[in-house]
Amino acid sequence: MSLATYHRRGTHILYDSARLAQPDSPLLPAPGSDWLDPQAWVAKGLVTGSAPGRGASQFLAVGDEEWVLRPYRRGGLAARISQADYLWLGLERTRAFREWRLTQTLFLQDLPVPAPVAAIVVHTGPSYQAGLMTARLPRTDALAERLPTASPDLLRRVGATIRQFHDAGLDHVDLNARNLLVSDTDKVWLIDFDRCRLRPPGAWRQRNLARLKRSLERFHPAGAASSHALILQGYDQVPAGCSS
């Protein structure tokens, strides 16, 4: 992974130059607010689909690369003020740069996360808007979609994968069945590390697992209890080789 930066007129991009050679390539929208405008990517003919969720992540195909671009969007009461604007406290404290660097740390530890491609921040006055670009994980579905047919072995694998991240110190503050992806070979991946951090062992582990349980109850209420029990079985076992 080769880190590089692009800075121009309030636009800041942190990127892996091995995956994104030139942020100002004519093949891409102009670096800046266009990168955060879905229609700008559509106009370049690079959008192949989108994922559900706040802000609607876009699937992009650029040459031989496939990426996911996720804009940062507020929820709850804060969204009534602005859905996309965040208070500027310095570049390294932006949500995009912090998430990019955490994702890079996990990726370099060979944990099952998508490779980080670029963090884009557009700074104007006291606020900024941002987005995160990662490599697209091919042939994967959200665990939420797999729950009705998930085998006991897959659910134990989910638990073992979560344990890997916890042993690495990752407090995933939004651990839910949409942020766990499963490949067509039942490899389990974890995504979306916004506001997450690395911490010493603590009660946060049980809070993560409790949040996941509530997610299971939402997406598959009939099988939530048995699914959660199997996930905990996998979590409590030695997680060797669970993501291979």
* Integer Cα distance of 51 and 136 in angstroms: 11
Marked catalytic residue, from 34, 37, 85, 174: 174
Is 174 designated active site?
Answer: yes
The alpha helices in 8-62, defined as continuous H runs, are 38-43
Q: Strand locations in the chain, DSSP E?
A: 3-8, 11-16, 47-50, 58-62, 65-71, 86-87, 116-124, 127-135, 140-142, 170-171, 180-183, 188-190, 197-198
Looking at the annotation, which residues are catalytic? 174
